[in-house]
Amino acid sequence: MLTEQDLKDKGISATLVRHPLVQHKLTLMRRKEQSSSAFRALLREISWLLCFEVTKDLPLTTTSIETPVQEMDAPVLEGRKLAFISILRAGNGMLDGMLDVIPSARVGHVGLYRDPDTLQAVEYYYKVPSNMEDRLIIVVDPMLATANSAISAVSRLKEGGAKDMRFVCLISAPEGIKAFNEAHPDVPVVTAAVDEKLNDHGYIVPGLGDAGDRIFGTK
């Protein structure tokens, strides 16, 4: 796995979430013998922590409240409009955890699959909330491999008006981050791990295999 210094040396930009709980849970997920139900539960739990990281600069204001002891001006979210966008299918595995943390967020879906021969993303579904231009948009997908899917989803969302976006994933490949940085330099990437490389089939090495299949037990 790459460190922040490795990312710097390669000239690529992503926030690495190195919290020990994230790293421990990710190791459990990677194990090939892990059941789909445990895989889903772990992804949901890691998504809580990734959600805290990607929202750490949300603006706060204060409100006057009374504790049992005295009055105070206490911090509350300013109430910025927010939407999670899940890249189907595997993004839905992260969406559940994100919504646990911010239940009031709107949700959109971009359906994409990766053509196994060309590795290009093919769109089959698109449904997002209104007023995309006013919202903070957090795009979720566990895997950033070639980045074709993420680049295509973010381009589509920009066409739909989105201006302020962040991309959150579980595992990324250096090649994917580089391609994503080049295509969308304005969209920060948050990831729990940057693995070594892609293999000849565009899979992340060592990775965790096909995230969608592991979440939904389809293989």
The CA distance from 201 to 190, in Å, is 24
Q: Is 55 a catalytic residue?
A: no
* Residue 65 φ then ψ, to 5°: -130, 165
Q: Is 73 a catalytic residue?
A: no
Q: Is 216 in the site for ligand URA (CB under 6 A)?
A: no
Among 140, 143, 187, 190, binds ligand URA (CB under 6 A): 143
What residues from 59 to 88 belong to the interface with ligand PRP (CB under 6 A)?
Answer: 87-88
List C-alpha distances in Å: 2 to 17, 54, 120, 140, 169. Answer: 12, 20, 26, 21, 15
Q: Considering only CA atoms, give the Rg of the chain.
A: 18
Is omega for the bond preceding 89 within 30 degrees of 0, making it cis?
Answer: yes
Instruction: Select the binding partner of residue 148 from ligand URA, ligand PRP, none (C-beta < 5 to 8 A, by kind).
Output: ligand PRP
What residues from 153 to 182 belong to the interface with ligand PRP (CB under 6 A)?
Answer: 176
Q: Is 18 a catalytic residue?
A: no
Instruction: Select the binding partner of residue 195 from ligand URA, ligand PRP, none (C-beta < 5 to 8 A, by kind).
Output: none
The CA distance from 38 to 191, in Å, is 20
Three-class SS of 42-77: HHHHHHHHHHHHHCCCCCEEEEEEECCCCEEEEEEE
List C-alpha distances in Å: 152 to 87, 121, 126, 147, 179. Answer: 10, 7, 12, 8, 11
Neighbour count for residue 141 (Cβ, 10 Å): 28
CB nearer to ligand URA: give 108 or 212. Answer: 212
CB nearer to ligand PRP: give 81 or 113. Answer: 113
Instruction: Select the binding partner of residue 157 from ligand PRP, ligand URA, none (C-beta < 5 to 8 A, by kind).
Output: none
Q: How far is the CB of 178 from ligand PRP (least distance, A)?
A: 12
Instruction: Select the binding partner of residue 183 from ligand PRP, ligand URA, none (C-beta < 5 to 8 A, by kind).
Output: none
Q: Is 106 a catalytic residue?
A: no
Q: Is 204 in the site for ligand URA (CB under 6 A)?
A: yes
Q: How far is the CB of 216 from ligand URA (least distance, A)?
A: 11
Cβ atoms of 23 and 192 closer than 8 Å: yes
Mark the segment that binds ligand URA (CB under 6 A) among 21-29, 65-73, 160-168, 202-210: 202-210
User: Catalytic residues, which ones?
Assistant: 114, 118, 210, 213
Contacting positions for ligand PRP (CB under 6 A): 87-90, 112-114, 119, 121, 141-150, 176, 202, 210-212
Contacting positions for ligand URA (CB under 6 A): 143, 145, 203-204, 207, 210-212
